[in-house]
Structure 1
Amino acid sequence: MITRKILSSIVSDLDKGKVLIVTGPRQVGKTTILRELAQQMQRPTLWLNCDEPDDRANLEKVSSTQLRALVGANQLLFIDEAQRVPDIGLTLKLLVDQLPDVQTIVTGSSALELAGGIHEPLTGRKFEYRLLPFSTAELVAETSQREERRLLEQRLIYGFYPEVVLHPAEAERRLAELADSYLYKDILRLQDIRKPAVLQKLLVALALQVGSEVSFYELSQTVGTDPATVERYIGLLEQAFVVFQVGALSRNLRNELKKSKKIFFYDTGIRNAIIKNFNPLSLRADAGALWENFMITERIKANLYAGKRSAYYFWRTTQQQEIDWLEEERGQLRAFEFKWNPKAKARFPASFQEAYPNTEMAVVSPDNYMNWLI
């Protein structure tokens, strides 16, 4: 059992009169966390799996009286795959308000319906957590920094999904299954996707452009649809925790790019599975882009699990000056350049340093990356 960083946060938030909501991609271990929590708490527990029609029906359009009868003497209520229940937010509101002695913990494998169905009814009644594939810090805690350094190339190529980390000999097969069976499951079921082939082409195009600025118009020409459809599909892929967008920082200089976007994958293994490329780094032309995507997602995990509320950007000017990654927390900027080759030169443009004084700056390579992740 590899202990997840958010588990201690969940335990500390128990019994505070809130519903606890864990969201994240499919197959990252949300149900496993509930099982571990149940084992730790040793309380009478009711499990409901909303992939099961009868469990789902028990939570649809119910009264507080029906909920009391359903929960009975149980003190913990686990609701798995809660996004499957229509208007789940109203049901959870009843649970919090009418059954205050019952601690409800909810998981959702997609933000598609869960996010839209809970926020308004549960205002002031919830704590939220996001669970992503394993982080470097979680694996270091299980093994060691030395072991994870040895496995760095494997992590870049195959990623951090538990299925892959725990079964490295079957990494390609399991990644292919994840990409084919789970990547689109929530999107295709919960949204009106009339052109799934376009969605697949779009994913391939995004995977090939990772780390580069993207244009919705150019992507639409590549995949054979209109820019509005591209924008909508990328939004759905974000909600399903497949990719995320990062905008450009633009505040102080006239020549800064203002509307540019980059798109990264939450897991480099999924990205490589989409383009069916598991070649070693020595045979790849995209090692630098993989390293950038890897470090960015690992920094996001590290900040997320440390409770930091950072804003993220990249920076570029019309003169092609650029910085890979910027983080802002409480007004403090940090700037990062990610170099796969430790001997590669990296310079932070003087114009950036003049425009954003007091910014912390670091060049991150395989020689020092652990300093920024644990």
Structure 2
Amino acid sequence: MEKLFQYQAALLQKVTNDFNRYLFNEVEWQERFVGIKGLRGVGKTTLLLQHLKYNLKDTSKHLYVTLDHPWFYNHTLFDLAQQFHQIGGQTLLVDEVHKLKDWSSQIKIIYDGLPDLQLIFTSSSALDLYRGEADLSRRVLSYELAGLSFREYLSFFHQIHYPKIDLTELLQNHIQHAQSLSSLFKPLSLFPDYLKKGYFPFSKGLSQHSFEARLIQTMEVTLNEDLAYIDGYNAEHIFKIKKLLGILAESVPFTANVSAIADKLEIGRNTIKNYLHALEKAGLLHFLNRDGKGISLLQKPDKIYLENTNLSYALKISPDLGTLRETFVLNQLINYSDEVFLPKEGDISINEKGNQFIFEIGGKGKSAKQIQNLENAYVIADDIETGFMNKIPLYLFGFLY
């Protein structure tokens, strides 16, 4: 265990409190059992270490571990928890719990058998916290950490700080917010860089080429390791999932024709649906459905997008501009709320505080013709710094979280 404390000390030396992700102040850290899911590279490890260093402070009673550490070659997580508890340990912070084959059973034993020990853990987006050998649904308080919003990107990359904007507030007062932001910086000069490489904190200091190479590597690890750990996919499955992702990257936004894809990949329709859901769970796709609700493994999504615009640039040489706009808005709205769906008219709709808002997305010349007879309908327009009436600048939707 001494090796683990030494490893923790080395990590904490590099941790600062200069920038906190939006979730840092939203997690109920005092809860006994907390799980944080998210894409690789969005900052889950830093989130844990900042909490350890700046909230818990007494690192002799709190321990961060990653299941990649060689200590776990010959020990179990329960071994560690028991030993740590015996020496007065109070909080165990476990990174990448999905790499533990029997993760749900072990942490359930820790939770039930060591009631004085707090357990905080992170995992891949692909991990279903409520599935497994142990039912954790009534025990764990679960959070999802998304990538950087445009607002966070400005703070982290450019030290431009602005509070997040509630959606209703944004729709009612977008002109005032646009004017305030325009006095701080030129939004249209920085927004394209965010779309290309601003969603992941690790892109800071990297060229576009280097970032895309590293992002591809991150995706490879997600597919080759996370899906293998969690869903038991073998090399042949992963190869076909990658081919599926390649097809989608060329076609998004994609109205799913499962039969056509199945024929092209020479696999069954239900297998394609399973692969689509695996890619969504892994944080590489977003589904947009008409009823706004989750769909079962046997159902196909109504519309498919890549999860974020950085993936669009990494997977395609020249992404379509209209697709980038829709991908950005969908990504920011989903990260803000679960109530996002595909409307009969317009591009994207969201339920907010009992109201349904409909959005039509386009360039600066986009008119409201398609939604002119709809209530609570807005045009989200790219390449404008300030809006007018129900026409809102695209970049403003990056301030929702």
What TM-score, normalized to structure 2? Answer: 0.74
Is the 2:350–2:356 contact (alpha carbons within 8 Å) kept by the matching residues of 1? yes
The one of 362, 365, 379 equivalent to 1:343 is 365
Aligned pair in 2 of structure 1 residues 112, 129: CA closer, same or farther (>3 Å)? closer
The one of 192, 197, 221 equivalent to 1:158 is 197
The one of 301, 305, 308 equivalent to 1:267 is 308
Structure 1 segment 122-271 matched on structure 2, within 5 A: 122-142=136-156, 143-144=159-160, 145=181, 146=185, 149-168=188-207, 170-190=210-230, 191-193=232-234, 194-249=236-291, 261-271=302-312
Q: Quote the Cα distance in structure 2 between the aligned partners of 1:26 and 1:110.
A: 8
Question: What is the DSSP-based 3-state SS (H/G/I as helix, E as strand, rest coil) of the residue aligned with 2:26?
Answer: helix
Question: What is the DSSP-based 3-state SS (H/G/I as helix, E as strand, rest coil) of the residue aligned with 1:344?
Answer: coil
Q: Quote the Cα distance in structure 1 between the aligned partners of 2:237 and 2:81.
A: 40
Q: Quote the Cα distance in structure 1 between the aligned partners of 2:302 and 2:92.
A: 41
The alignment status of 1:38 with 2:52, answered yes or no, reads yes
Moved more, 120-129 or 229-238: 120-129
Residue 253 of structure 1 corresponds to which residue in structure 2?
A: none
The one of 313, 328, 334 equivalent to 1:294 is 328
Q: Which residues of structure 1 form unaligned runs of 5+?
A: 251-257, 317-321, 354-358
Q: What residue identity is the alignment partner of 1:290?
A: L
Residue 311 of structure 1 corresponds to which residue in structure 2?
A: 339
Identity %: 23
Q: Quote the Cα distance in structure 1 between the aligned partners of 2:84 and 2:93.
A: 12
1:137-183 residue CA offsets vs partner (Å, 9 max, x unmatched): 21233433536542222222335122224424533332333334444
The one of 74, 78, 89 equivalent to 2:93 is 78
Aligned pair in 2 of structure 1 residues 111, 179: CA closer, same or farther (>3 Å)? closer
What TM-score, normalized to structure 1? Answer: 0.79
Question: What is the DSSP-based 3-state SS (H/G/I as helix, E as strand, rest coil) of the residue aligned with 2:347?
Answer: strand
Q: Quote the Cα distance in structure 1 between the aligned partners of 2:300 and 2:127.
A: 25
Is the 1:20–1:128 contact (alpha carbons within 8 Å) kept by the matching residues of 2? yes
Q: What residue identity is the alignment partner of 2:255?
A: E
Is the 1:267–1:297 contact (alpha carbons within 8 Å) kept by the matching residues of 2? yes
Question: What is the DSSP-based 3-state SS (H/G/I as helix, E as strand, rest coil) of the residue aligned with 1:245?
Answer: strand
Is the 2:153–2:199 contact (alpha carbons within 8 Å) kept by the matching residues of 1? no
Q: Quote the Cα distance in structure 2 between the aligned partners of 1:312 and 1:271.
A: 21
Aligned pair in 2 of structure 1 residues 361, 56: CA closer, same or farther (>3 Å)? farther
Q: Give the paired residue count.
A: 335
Aligned pair in 2 of structure 1 residues 189, 20: CA closer, same or farther (>3 Å)? closer
